[in-house]
Chain A
Amino acid sequence: MMPKPWVPRAEIAFEVVKKTRKPADLVSVCVTVFNYERFLEDCLGSIAAQTHADLDLVIVDDHSTADDSLAAAVAWAKKHARRFYRVSVLTHARNQGPAAARNSAFEHAIGENVFIIDADNEIYPRCIARLYQAMRDGGFDAAYTQLEYFGDEKKIGSADIWDPVVIAEENYVDVMALIKKSGWAQVEGFSHIEEGWEDYDFWLKFIDAGLTPGYVPEILSRYRVHGTSRTRTDAHAAHEQLRAIMAYRHPRLPAGT
C-alpha cells in the first residue's frame, strides 16, 4: 500500500511474544474494538477457547472514547498472554474507522492467515481450526463459515458457496473470515468508504483480483444483532447510494439490483 505519512500509525499499547520459534500453523486473529468494552470479554474468551493451538492475537482499539475499551483489552491480554504465541494490543491516536482498524491489524499480524472479528461478535471453539483446515487443504484465498445471529435477533445467516455472480448482486458473505495475508495485500487491504459497505467492497476486490474464498458449511461464527437503528426509508436511501459507489468502484462486475 502507498504510504500515507499523514495517517497516524497504530501504536503498540501492550505486547507479549513467546521466545520459541514461530509455529508453522500460526493463525493471526484480529479483533477490532470501538466502544465495545462490554462485549470484549466474551469475544476474547471465545478466541482463547479455540481448539486451534497456535494463535497470534492482535487487538486494535480504534480510539474508543465512550468506554475504557483499551484498558480492558490490555488487562485481558496481560491475564491471558500465555494462551497465545503472541498477543498485541494496538491503539489508534484518533478514530479512523473499521477499514483502517482492520488494516492496522493485518499489518501487525505475523500469521500467514488472518481471522478478523469485531469485538461484539464471537466464535465457537472449532471455528479457527476448521477454517484453517479448509484453507490449507482446499487451496482457498479465504474461508468463512455460516453465521449464527444472536443478541436482539436469533437466526441463521445467509452464507453460501462463493459465487461471484451472486455476490456481485448482493453480499451474503460476512467479513468474519480467515483471510490469507497475501490476498489482503494483493487487494491493498480494506478501503474506507464513507457510507459503509467496506466489507462488501473488500469481497468485490477479491472478485476483481480473481481470488476465491471457500465456504465451510458449519455454523461456527456468531454475529451480534443490535436492535434496529435505522428506519427502512433511511436504509433504502443509503442502499441506493452504496449501490452507486460499488458500481463506480467495480465497473466490470454485473449490475446488481
Chain B
Amino acid sequence: MDGCLDQASGLFETAAGVFGLTGALPGISNAEDDDILVIAGSGLFDEAWYIAQNPDVARSGINPLIHYVQHGAAEGRVPFPGFNAARYVENLQGNERIRRNPLAHYILHGCADDLLAKGLLGQFSIPAIRLAMNRLAALPIFKAEDYLVLNEDARATGGIADVEPVNHALVQGFPEGRSVFMKTTVARALGAAAAKPFAPLPDVRAAPALPEIGVFYNAAGNAFIREIAEDIAASLAAAGQKVRVLTEESEIEGRPDLNIFVAPHEFFHIGRGRDWAREEILRDGFLYTTEQPQTLWFERAMPFVLMARAVIDIAPQVADIFGACGMPAAFFNPNVRPVTRWLEPGDLTHPLVRVLPKAARRVEIKPAKFADRHIEIAFFGTESEHREKFFAKNARQLAAYEAFLYYRKVESPLLAKGSHAALSRLAGHVAAHSKLMLNIHRDSNGFFEWHRIAKLGMVSGAVVVSEPCLPHPVFKPGVHYLEESGRHILNLMQWLLHDEDGQRHAQKIQNNANKAVRDADYAARNVNALLWFLADHWRPGAS
C-alpha cells in the first residue's frame, strides 16, 4: 500500500509556503508538527471548507490545520469532503496500528481504495473488495442507478458516510439480503445472452495434468445440490481425473489444491460452510453457480463469486453474463448417466413411496416406453407466485390425470441428509415411472432447469413438457423436449397422453432425448472442455 500516493516527496519544501508556518510552533509536539507538515504539503486539507463546516474554529482564530491536527481529528471533524477517517482506520486495523493523525498516515501510506467501505465483508482485504467491485460494476446485470432505485437509503447525501453504489451493493447490499439487481435489467441481459449462438465444443485434446480436484457441497443444504456435486465429480472421474467429493465438514487446511465449490449461495452460508468464506480459498477456488440471477439466492452468493478465481455456471446465458465482467467464466452441465435404480432400501417406507400406485413402486426400473409408464404427469417444485397461479388455474384439468404433483410450500430446503433426503431420489424414481415430466418455471424468466429437465426427466425417460426455456446448446425444444405456454400446456399434455398421433410424437421425443443423454462423444468433449478451463485458470501451488 505504501507509495500509493506520491505526495510525501518534497513536503518540507512546500509546507512553509502554504500556510506561512516557519520553525517549531508553540505548544505543538514534534509528532503533531510532523503531521501538520505532511498534511499541508499534500494540499488535501480544504481550509475554506473546514472553516465553513466548523464555525467555532473560525471564531476561535486558530489556524484551521493546526486545529484539525490538535483537536479536530480526535473530535471526528472532517479535513476535506469525503475523507472518512474512521473507515480508513478500520480498514487498516489488523495490518497496523495508526499512531498518528489518520490523514497524515493516509497521505504517507494510504491510497484511495483504503477509503472503501468494507461493511459486512470485514474479513476481506481491500484488494479483494476492489476486485469484486470492479467485476460487479462490469456485470451486465448491474446498474448503479438500479441499485439506488431499489435501495434509496444508499444514495449519497454529501456526508462522509456516503458509499459509492457499487461498493455499497457489494459490502452491504448482498450480505444484508437487499435486492441488488433489477429484474428488468436481468431479463434484458438474459435476453441478449440468449440471442447469441453457441460456440461448438472443441475436439478432445489430451487431458491436462491437474492435481486431485475437490468438489464441495454443503451437507446441510439442498439434496439436489449434492446430486449435482456428485455428477460433476463423476464426470471428471470418468475422464480419468482424480477427484473427491467433499463437504463443509472437511478439514480446511487439508483441502485439495484445486477446488470446485458447488452452489456457493448455500456452501458459504450454512453452518460450517461460513468458515470457508476466506479470501485465500475464494481466490484460488472455482465456484459452480446454480441459481437464477433474478433470485435472492443468486445475490446471496455474489460477494463470494466475485472474489473467486473463476465461475462455472449451470446455465450458458449466466456464464456469458459473468464472462462480460472479465472474470474467467464457463458453462458446464455434468454428464449424466442412465439410472436404473433411484431409491435406497430405506426409502421404501417413505410416505411418498407408500402412496405411489403399486406398479410404480418397483425399485429396479427397466427403461420403459412412453406407453408402458404408470404415472401420467409428474411435477416436482417449490412454491412460487407463478407456479401457484398455474396450478390454481389448471387444478380441475390436472385432477383428471394419474399424477404426482409434489408442489412444496415448506420453506426449508430439501436436506441432503435427514428425513427428507429421500425426496430427491424419489423425484428421479417418480420420473422413471412417469410418461410426462411437467416443468413450470419459478417465474417469468424461462430458465432451462437442467436438473429437472435433463437430470431427472430425460435421464429417466420421462418426456419433458415445459414452458418455453432459454436455449440450451444440446437439448432443443421440439426435439428432446416439448415447449408450450402455461396457457396451453394442458392441451399439449392431453394430446400426448390421449391422442394416437400425440403418443407417437411423445415416443419420438423420448427416443431423441435418450440418444442425447447417452451421447458419449459429446460427454467426452464436454468434460474435456471443463478440464482445460480448470487448467487454463488454476494457479498451481497457490494453496
Contacts and interface: CB of A to CB of B under 8 A. Distances in A.
A23 interface: no
B351 A161 contact: yes
Interface stretch (B164-172, B250-258, B400-408, B447-455): B400-408
B405 A155 contact: no
A140 B349 CA distance: 11
Contacts of A126: 399-400
Contact of B403 (A125, A137, A218, A222): A218
Given A124-B396, A155-B388, A146 B407 contact: yes
A219 interface: yes
A77 B357 CA distance: 33
A218 B404 contact: yes
A137 B358 contact: yes
Interface string B432-463: 00000000000000000000000000000000
A186 interface: no
Task: Give the contact-size bracket for chain B.
Answer: 20 to 34
Contact of A143 (B355, B388, B391, B404): B355
Interface in B400-421: 400, 403-410, 419-420
Contacts of B410: 160, 166, 172
A256 interface: no
Nearest to A140: B354
A76 interface: no
A133 B408 contact: no
Nearest to B349: A139
A149 interface: yes
Interface residue SS majority, chain B: mixed
Interface string B357-394: 11000000000000000000000000000001001110
B391 A217 contact: no
B16 interface: no
Interface residues of A, number: 33
Interface string A145-183: 010110000111010111100100000100000000000
Contact of B355 (A148, A160, A216): A216
Contacts of A134: 354-355
Nearest to B355: A134
Contacts of A162: 351
A138 B405 contact: no
Contacts of B403: 217-218
A98 interface: no
Contacts of A148: 391-392, 395-396
Interface in A128-144: 133-134, 137-140, 143
Contacts of A115: none
A154 B392 contact: yes
Given A126-B400, A155-B388, A219-B398, A160 B408 contact: yes
Interface string A19-39: 000000000000000000000
A189 interface: no
Nearest to A157: B409
B406 A217 contact: yes
B352 interface: yes
B361 to A, nearest CB: 8
Interface in A182-220: 212, 214-220
Given A124-B396, A148-B395, A215 B355 contact: yes
B351 A125 contact: no
B405 A133 contact: no
Contacts of B407: 146, 156, 217
A138 B352 CA distance: 9
Interface in B132-170: none
- Chain A CB within 10 Å — which of B358, B395, B400, B403 has the most? B395
A156 B395 contact: yes
Nearest to B383: A156
Interface string B97-130: 0000000000000000000000000000000000
A240 B254 CA distance: 51
Contacts of A155: 388, 392
B268 to A, nearest CB: 27
Nearest to B391: A156
A149 B409 CA distance: 15
A146 B395 CA distance: 10
Contacts of A220: 399
A219 B391 contact: yes
Contact of B388 (A137, A156, A216, A218): A156
Nearest to A217: B406
Contacts of A166: 410
B354 A158 contact: no
Contact of B351 (A127, A133, A137, A214): A214
A218 B405 CA distance: 5
Contacts of B419: 163
Contact of A133 (B357, B398, B404): B357
12 contacts: A126-B399, A126-B400, A148-B391, A155-B392, A161-B420, A162-B351, A212-B351, A214-B355, A217-B403, A217-B404, A217-B406, A219-B398
What 3 A-B pairs are tightest by C-beta distance, nearest first?
A124-B399, A138-B354, A148-B395
Interface of A: 124-127, 133-134, 137-140, 143, 146, 148-149, 154-156, 158, 160-163, 166, 172, 212, 214-220, 222
Given A140-B354, A220-B399, 20 more contacts: A124-B396, A133-B357, A137-B357, A138-B354, A139-B354, A149-B392, A156-B395, A156-B409, A160-B409, A161-B351, A172-B410, A214-B351, A214-B355, A215-B351, A216-B355, A217-B352, A217-B404, A217-B406, A218-B404, A219-B391
